[in-house]
Amino acid sequence: MKVAFLVATEGIEQIELTEPWKAVSDAGHTPELVSTDSGRVQAYDHLDKADTFPVDTTVSQAQPDDYGALVLPGGVANPDALRMDKDAVAFAKGFFDRGKPVAAICHAPWTLIEADVLRGRTLTSWPSLRTDITNAGATWVDEQVKVCTSAPSTLITSRKPDDLKAFCEALIGELAS
């Protein structure tokens, strides 16, 4: 199955892109980098520039129906830019509308808050998003990984890079079901 990794043009926490990407690929699925612009995206190792990655397609061209799941890597600047892009927000919301799994780590739930898809759900994130998540009608928990199976779609969330092993295991488990 194809799995969309939605990112802005810069500000992606590199390990939060590369580790789930590798897990998805190793499990026999096809990861695809979807971004707000074509070309390459700039990843970061915290505040330091890291590698760049080629964009497979832009969010304005991509459709949720083309994918089996969505992964939202974190970093601070990445989801902050995505939540300001109407196409990115609509793309993320489309996965919930279609009942497809979504996985978000660190600050990535900001995009989901903007899409208004968290109401009634339980999730985790980087701790500074707690108030934002609560104000969006969701319940925030401080857990390594939280899998919320509320209809219409499964939401997998984690707090930070140290949680990536559990995040990737939960993501691959959901893709296998």
- Cα gap 6→108, rounded to integer Å: 10
Active site residue 148: no
Torsion-angle region of residue 39: left (phi > 0), alpha (psi -120 to 50) or beta? left
Please, which residues bridge with residue 145 across strands?
Answer: 158
Sheet holding 40-45, edge to edge: 10-13, 40-45, 48-54
- Cα gap 63→17, rounded to integer Å: 20
Q: Are 76 and 110 in contact (CB under 8 A)?
A: no
- Among residues 29, 46, 106, 168, the one annotated as catalytic is 106
Active site residue 107: yes
- DSSP secondary-structure letter at 37? S
Q: Are 68 and 175 in contact (CB under 8 A)?
A: yes
- Cα gap 149→121, rounded to integer Å: 8
Which tokens sit at 102? 């979504």
- Among residues 29, 46, 107, 148, the one annotated as catalytic is 107
Which tokens sit at 43? 């990843």
Active site residues: 106-107
